Amino acid sequence: MGRPRAVELDDAVLAAVACFREHGYDSTSVRDLEAATGLKATSLYNAFGSKAGLFNAALDRYHRDVVERRVNEHLRPALGLAGIRSFLVSTYTVEPLPTHGCLVASSAAEFADLDPRARERVEHSLRLTRDALARSLEALRQAGEIDPVIDLAAAADALLIFYEGMLTMLRTGPVTVDPTRAIDATLALLQPRKRKR
């Protein structure tokens, strides 16, 4: 049997993304990856070097296909608060609930156990999202659409934590809170307050 073709390896990375999303890095066995990808362990190791190598390829693919796409679609500064809202709402409207969650969020939960290259990839995805939120907030401030006293860096951090927390919570099964109400209440905190004279 010959080496897997590039298209097979591409499909294998996609299958690995789904497998790692469902089980997490530590709980995904090589046998799980064989079943998900349809490739034998020897083929996977020849192509990716190790389970960690395949995981890094999966993180790269997820970053490109999910993180970058979602950020570029929703977090353009010109979209304003509606863009931030649609970004947050997309956590539960893109896939039926419960989802397998976010590969970045689940990987962040296993951060201490990941190899340095995987940690860099997780940090890169989180930083991209946080920086896009910060740019959107800066544009909103310049347009006078958010409270001028808000610390924009802290607000971007808070929104990133809220977003990643939502992704984790929505993975657990039945949602006991209304995520849309939670989003609207959170974003309302950013809006200008009427000052008492």
Query: pLDDT tens digits for 7-48?
Result: 689 999 999 999 999 899 999 999 999 999 999 999 999 999
Helix, strand and coil percent figures for the chain, each rounded to 5:
70, 0, 30
CATH number at residue 103: 1.10.357.10
Nearest CA to 19 out of 61, 49, 47 is that of 61
* 23 located within any domain: no
Q: Do 187 and 99 meet the contact criterion of CB atoms below 8 Å apart?
A: no
Give residue 96's domain range: 58-188
Comparing 1 with 129, which gets the higher pLDDT?
A: 129
pLDDT higher than threshold 50 for residue 1: no
Across 134-143, average pLDDT: 96
Q: What is the pLDDT of residue 98?
A: 60
* 165 located within any domain: yes
* 11 located within any domain: no
* pLDDT tier for residue 4 given thresholds of 50, 70 and 90: low
Domains held by the chain: number: 1
| Residue 182, CA distances (Å) to 52, 83, 154 in order | 36, 16, 19
* 89 located within any domain: yes
Give the total residue count for the chain: 197
Q: What is the pLDDT of residue 187?
A: 97
pLDDT in tens, 70-118: 999 999 999 999 999 999 999 888 876 666 778 998 898 888 888 999 9
pLDDT in tens, 162-183: 999 988 888 776 667 788 999 9
* 44 located within any domain: no
Mean pLDDT of all residues belonging to the chain: 90
Q: Do 128 and 164 meet the contact criterion of CB atoms below 8 Å apart?
A: no
* pLDDT tier for residue 128 given thresholds of 50, 70 and 90: very high
* 38 located within any domain: no
